[in-house]
Amino acid sequence: MQDVADACRTGAATNVIFGLALGYKSVIIPIFAIAVGIYVSFTIAAMYGIAMAALGMLSTIATGLSIDAYGPISDNAGGIAEMAGMSHRIRERTDALDAAGNTTAAIGKGFAIGSAALVSLALFGAFVSRAGVKVVDVLSPKVIIGLVVGAMLPYWFSAMTMKSVGKVALEMVEEVRRQFNTIPGLMEGTGKPDYANCVKISTDASIKQMIPPGALVMLTPLVVGTLSACRRCRASSPAPSSPACRWPSPPPTPAAPGTTRRSTSKPGRASTRGRWGPRAPTTTRRR
């Protein structure tokens, strides 16, 4: 943090560079901690241990999210107190609560990301055991494609959410400009702004703009699983008449006691009664 503070003296460019470097370096220690947790939990209780480790990390999320509420509430309270011309002591107290909320929010996000890694590993283990997969060949092109596409999905999701935020912010700015131009006395403080319309824009956007990212998360496993199943079926049945792509044959009808089944087709000639047509049993005489 001291390096970032020193970089602020030379301009915004160096500040951004040092900030990005600090953010990238902050990933090293948590990754090693997650790796050690995975190894120890798997050594003690296999996949069940990993699931319990993830559950233990998620048990503190409720407390973290509760304290996280200090951030926006205290920040809004401090802004109202400042606009109302209240004492600076109130602003200092709200800033302290805001800092506590922001710090707790960062810690809570770290716990959520770490537990997500453990949960994903547990889910993968459950899928492998349920599907009967014994070996995962990393050198297979399909596996490599799946890894690359899976690594791309977080960036796609982040891009969609950031674009949604920018779109809503643009709508909000346009609405504020419209009110300044159409409502008389708003710039002088004598007019009343239309708060309801601004709240409506934020509320509608928070619901509508999250539909595409949510659909991406929900539909990706279905699409990938469907395509993978089709490829597996094609690989296992190269010919359309392969038994793997046909319905299973019905069990043969048992013959009555003392009877034998006679073939209805001549050698070298197909039967015209169909594959599963009725066959009349013939009785054999006993001497």
Tens digits of residue pLDDT in 117-167? 888 888 888 887 777 777 777 788 888 888 888 888 889 998 999 888 888
Give bridge partners of residue 283 from the DSSP assignment: 259
pLDDT at 254: 55
pLDDT at 257: 54
pLDDT at 276: 47
Query: Using alpha carbons only, what angle is made at residue 118 by residues 113 and 123, rounded to the nearest 5 degrees?
Result: 120
Alpha-carbon Rg for the chain, nearest whole angstrom, is 33
pLDDT at 273: 46
What's the pLDDT band for 252 if we cut at 50, 70, 90?
low
| Helix 61-68, helix 70-83: angle, nearest 10 | 10
Interval 66-94 mean pLDDT:
79
What's the pLDDT band for 255 if we cut at 50, 70, 90?
low
Distances (CA, A) of 163 to 154, 155, 160: 14, 12, 5
Burial class (CB in 10 A: 0-12, 13-18, 19+), 32: exposed
Percent of the chain with pLDDT over 70: 79
Instruction: Choose the weakest-confidence range: 58-62, 133-137, 247-251.
Output: 247-251
pLDDT at 132: 77
Half-sphere exposure of 187 (CA within 13 A, CB side): 6
Q: Examine the pLDDT at 189 and tell me if it is beyond 80.
A: no
Distances (CA, A) of 276 to 241, 254, 256, 265, 273: 17, 13, 18, 12, 8
Q: Examine the pLDDT at 71 and tell me if it is beyond 80.
A: no
What's the pLDDT band for 18 if we cut at 50, 70, 90?
confident
- The Cα–Cα gap between 249 and 247 comes to 6
